[in-house]
Amino acid sequence: MLHILLHFIVPLFVALLFYRSKWRYATVIMVLTMIVDADHLMADPVYDPERCSIGFHPLHTLPAIGFYVLLFVLPLIFDRKNENQSIEKILNILHLAGLGLLIHMALDGIDCLL
C-alpha cells in the first residue's frame, strides 16, 4: 500500500521542488505515467507481491527504461523554450512523462530490493 502511495507522493514532491510554477500540471503528467503498469495485464498472475517488476514486465525492462531516459533528456537538449508554443508544450509533456516514468521505475526498483 505504501508503494502505491509513493507513486503519488514522490511525483508531487518532485513537482513542488523543481516545477514550482506549474506543480499541479507536472504532478498530473507524472502520475498519469502510472499507465505504464498496464503491461502487468500481460503477466500471469497479473499481480504477484513477490515479483520484481523491473526486468520482468515489457515496459519495465532496460530498453524501455533507456527510452524513458531519452524522453526526459532530449527535451532538455532541444530547449523547451520554443517559439512555437505547441512544440514547447509537447516537449514539456515528453520531459515530464520521461521523469514520471523514471520515478516510477526507481520506486519499483526499490521495491525489488526490499
- Binding residues (CB under 5 A) for Zn ion: these are 37, 53, 108
Q: How far is the CB of 108 from Zn ion (least distance, A)?
A: 4
| CA nearest neighbour of 31 among 104, 91, 85, 108 | 104
Nearer to Zn ion, 28 or 52 (CB): 52
Q: How far apart are alpha carbons 8 and 57 in whole angstroms?
A: 21
| Whole-angstrom Cα Rg for the chain | 15
Q: How far is the CB of 34 from Zn ion (least distance, A)?
A: 8
Q: How far is the CB of 99 from Zn ion (least distance, A)?
A: 15
Kindly state the DSSP code that residue 35 receives in the 8-state scheme: G
Nearer to Zn ion, 70 or 112 (CB): 112
Q: Which three cell numbers stand for residue 22?
A: 506549474
Nearer to Zn ion, 90 or 102 (CB): 102
